[in-house]
Amino acid sequence: MPICRTRDGVEIFYKDWGSGRPVVFIHGWPLNGDAWQDQLKAVADAGFRAIAHDRRGHGRSTPVFDGYDFDTFADDLNDLLTGLDLRDVTLVAHSMGGGELARYIGRHGTSRIRSAVLLSAIPPLMVQGPDNPEGVPRSVFDDLKAGILNERSQFWKDTAVGFFSADRPDNKVTEGNKDAFWYMAMAETIEGGVACVDAFAYTDFHDDLRKFDIPLLVVHGDDDQVVPIDATGRKTAELVPGAQLKVYEGGSHGIALVPGDKERFNKDLIEFLGS
């Protein structure tokens, strides 16, 4: 298997398809690089080199007990980019992966980066507070952690519904979408599942976003039940000069996987890569 070994000895699994200018995909919680299969093929077919890794403690990467914070995730990403000597890279990140992307730029700059895409992403800040009234209440994050610790298999089955907005009339979510979510979630360590909640809930990315000096595409569904657009996507687009914001009407948190939305996203992504 293709493996990148990090500075602290963690083995990061990755897929590497196609050739051309590199596009690196960063998955959300509690998924892994398999969440990007449709996009990997679309991008490779369009003449780019498509790469997606499994975050530490997720999928086929080392199931470590610690290191579930965004400084570590960003440094892992840097180890991957430098290990493969990738340059002129477009980073594409979903959900929690958006924090990894933002913190990477905050810590390592943009010398290797051409452009970025944030899809249903958590920056600038998820948790509700006086300066972020549109955010998510702390009690929601407490419930997520309790659900994982109580009986994570059923918790992930239940969580898939809101992830894909499968509770909405006329949704296009398949049983396969929900099964795939469960399968990937069960391949995440239980410690990673819980620790990542604290990481994506409470990490502030305002300073990281201020260091963006590259083209940025922000894509977000207005029916995202996990990462509310008014607290995240809209604010990110306002904070980063020149950022494009595309709002998918009725779009769920799982845009890249749901039939209809994923084809639209693939088209928007390839157009952005060619711009």
Determine the average pLDDT of the residues in 261-275: 97
Secondary structure letter of residue 54 according to DSSP? P
C-alpha distances in Å from residue 161, one per residue of 157, 158, 165: 7, 6, 6
Nearest-Å Rg of the Cα atoms of the chain is 17
Of 95, 115, 120, 165, which is the active-site residue?
95
What single-letter DSSP state applies at residue 10? P
Pairing between strand 113-119 and 3-5? unpaired
Are 34 and 184 a contacting pair, CB within 8 Å? Answer: yes
Q: Are 241 and 130 in contact (CB under 8 A)?
A: no
Q: Which residue out of 75, 76, 79, 224 is catalytically annotated?
A: 224
Catalytic residue among 76, 115, 253, 261: 253
For the stretch 16-68, pLDDT in tens is 999 999 999 999 999 999 999 999 999 999 999 999 999 999 999 999 999 99
- Burial (Cβ within 10 Å: 0-12, 13-18, ≥19) of residue 111: exposed
| Strands ordered across the beta sheet of 3-5 | 3-5, 11-17, 49-53, 22-26, 89-94, 113-119, 216-221, 244-248
CB atoms within 10 A of CB 129: 12
Among this protein's residues, is 139 annotated catalytic? no
Of the pLDDT bands very low, low, confident and very high (cuts 50, 70, 90), residue 122 is very high
- The answer to which of 46-50, 170-174, 177-181 has the lowest mean pLDDT is 170-174
Beta strands in 37-157 (DSSP E): 49-53, 89-94, 113-119
> How would residue 156 be classed by pLDDT, with cut points 50, 70 and 90?
very high
End-to-end CA distance of the chain: 33
**pLDDT tens column, 210-257:** 999 999 999 999 999 999 999 999 999 999 999 999 999 999 999 999
Q: Who's near 99: CB < 8 A, 6+ residues apart?
A: 70, 73, 121, 122, 123, 199, 200, 203, 205
Q: Is 220 a catalytic residue?
A: no
220 class by beta-carbon count within 10 Å (0-12 exposed, 13-18 middle, 19+ buried): buried
Q: Is the pLDDT of residue 193 over 90?
A: yes
CATH code of the domain occupying 3-274: 3.40.50.1820
Active site includes 95? yes
The model's pTM is: 0.97
